[in-house]
Chains A and B, each alone.
Chain A
Amino acid sequence: MEVTTAVADRGARVRSPRAFLTMYRRAVHEALSVPATTMLVPLILPIFMLTIFGRVFASVAAIPGFPQGVGYAAYIAPSVVITGTMLGSPTTGISTAMELQTGFFDRMRLAPLGTGMSMVARRAADGTRLAFFAVVLTVAAWVDGVPIENWPLALGVAVVLGAAWGVVYGGLALAASLRTANAETVQAMVPLFFPVLLMSTGLVPMPLLPDWLQEIARYNPVSYICDSMRSATAGEFAASATWKALLGIAIAGVVTQVLVQLSSRYRARV
């Protein structure tokens, strides 16, 4: 049957790198077309944290439990990067909610390529942008007086762990977006970054956290991401913390991806 052949042909052709690149370019172009929202706003709070917290709370670095010889600005520099990547992460979720509202999502659902490639491309574009944030915030920390002993190592760890965590964390926004088709709901999730950060060693070392919070911080990947980035800034590669960070990111990635899949199925069942 002629139409059946056409179906088979189309199915085989759509998985091309060109399709991915087109969707990736679209996501990047979309983000750049609203630079204030996607490129500037997510950097304001982290830079505020760096410059204000670093000075207001400078004396706490002298409290026993903080690593010796490390200023508070240097201590929180990794959490500043992580805050930036978490604040910049809901873009795919918000864009997908807009696609659902305008009907563009249905346009993609009806095409042989489906929506999967667009979401992968969007998350890749988010990863690129969040990697850029990691670089900007690392440089901002240096400008603010945080010593960077080994630039390639510091930037490499910040970019890989910071961007990867941001992309994984953004899965929560994407899942909520697919479930509710509502951009406001996704935006309402933005403040979640704060408890995630507070329940880690991002702002305060483990010994200074209350016991119950220490338990949570031990299972919070952000603790290991910050530890790894802090060591890299000091010129050392902390293998144990880095592997734990990567494992935590991977586990969180699986969890958020399951949520995304469940929401996608919900959307398909409507």
Chain B
Amino acid sequence: MPEQRGVWAESLVKVYRGEVTAVSDVSLTAGEGEVVGVLGPNGAGKSTTLKILTTLLRPTRGRATVYGFDVLDVKGVRPLLGVALQEVGLDPLMSGNEHFAVQAALYGVAPDQLRRACDPLIERFGLGSYLEREVGAYSGGTQRKLALALALSSSPPVVILDEPTAGLDPHSRRQVWELLEELRSRGKVVLFSTQYMDEAERLCDKIYVIDKGRIVAQGSPDELRALIGEGTLRVQVDAPPARLRELIADLLPVDGGGIEEDGEVLVVKVPLDSALPAEILRTIQLDGLGVREFSLSPPTLEDTFIQLTGRALRPEPLGRSTADVGLSMHRGGGSQWR
């Protein structure tokens, strides 16, 4: 059923010029007061999915609605949206102030009214001193902050952001995170894409992991982490790792899988709620070895992502095109979660 007070999409497919399939099966929902993340590597279909939901692309198949309006009904959907895409969509020859004036014209509101509404955002992002200057002279991060302020200028009920923190410094990223949390508290529907695990983990009520145009997993960060079912045990003793590996070999799976060396530290994948860590510690103590490090970490979202997609997520470096960027490839646990 279409979500009447939020964003709803079912089985979206997008094929460009009948050849390239960018999105092959995406279904998602985002409700009021929810921050929903679309997480995936470059070329996974995140931007295409978001562009369909913003009405900028027509789906080849499938259906999506925003507050009950079909995304093909552009006049119904567009006024409900605040959108900041990866291309910041700014005119390099216009100043920040001129962008606000044009935005006011585009949305049919008085420029003063729009500026008053945006003042808190301008202050929050420290944009005030830049507004007289041409946007082409802004840094990439400042341009992105201006684009965000413009996206929120009409106080839309639905906010769709494509990698809103790409290119921002840590302080600015944190400002954006706080902003998104504030939007959630005000009951807005927030849907954004990201390549940053920490961002998704911190902000999202729900995450859709997308890979090769398909949703491969969905759920809260905790639910996604639980999918992996393994924690990471790091053990260092006052003996070489090979000695420790030999000592605990009988406790580990016969094929020796899930065990690696990180310098002097032995890293062991252990099932959650398993007695294995306690058994390993007891074995070490019985052998009389001194323990330098013994820590058990729950699975991270990154571990989960690697399991789901078979590769690690590495944000695209600034100033390089998608085509230039090679993803770090790590073989993971395969496709059992699909």
Contacts and interface: CB of A to CB of B under 8 A. Distances in A.
B78 interface: yes
Nearest to B66: A3
Given A103-B89, A108-B106, A113-B106, A7 B80 contact: yes
Contact of B108 (A16, A23, A103, A110): A16
Interface string B56-82: 111000000001000000011011110
Interface residues of B, number: 34
B49 interface: no
Interface in B82-113: 83, 85, 87-94, 98, 101-109
Nearest to B150: A107
A30 B93 contact: yes
Interface in B105-125: 105-109
B157 interface: yes
Contacts of B106: 14, 19, 107-108, 111-113
B56 A109 contact: yes
A14 B107 contact: yes
Interface string A20-31: 001100100110
Classify chain A: how many residues form its interface, as a range: 35 or more
A193 B169 CA distance: 50
B105 A23 contact: yes
A255 B187 CA distance: 49
B194 interface: no
Contacts of B67: 1, 3
B108 A14 contact: yes
Contacts of B93: 29-30, 33-34
Contact of B87 (A1, A26, A106, A112): A106
Interface string A100-132: 001110111111110001000000000000000
B232 interface: no
A218 interface: no
A10 B105 contact: no
Contact of A112 (B58, B79, B83): B79
Interface in A1-54: 1, 3, 6-7, 10-16, 18-19, 22-23, 26, 29-30, 33-34
A102 B90 contact: yes
B309 interface: no
A268 B76 CA distance: 15
Contact of A107 (B89, B98, B101, B104): B89
Nearest to A20: B105
Contacts of A33: 93
A144 interface: no
B54 interface: yes
Contacts of B88: 102-103
Contact of A270 (B58, B87, B91, B107): B58
A26 B102 contact: yes
A94 to B, nearest CB: 13
19 contacts: A6-B79, A6-B80, A7-B79, A13-B108, A15-B108, A22-B101, A22-B102, A23-B105, A26-B91, A102-B87, A102-B88, A102-B91, A103-B90, A106-B87, A107-B150, A110-B54, A110-B55, A111-B103, A113-B108
Given A14-B107, A19-B105, A26-B98, 6 more contacts: A10-B79, A10-B107, A22-B101, A26-B102, A102-B91, A113-B106
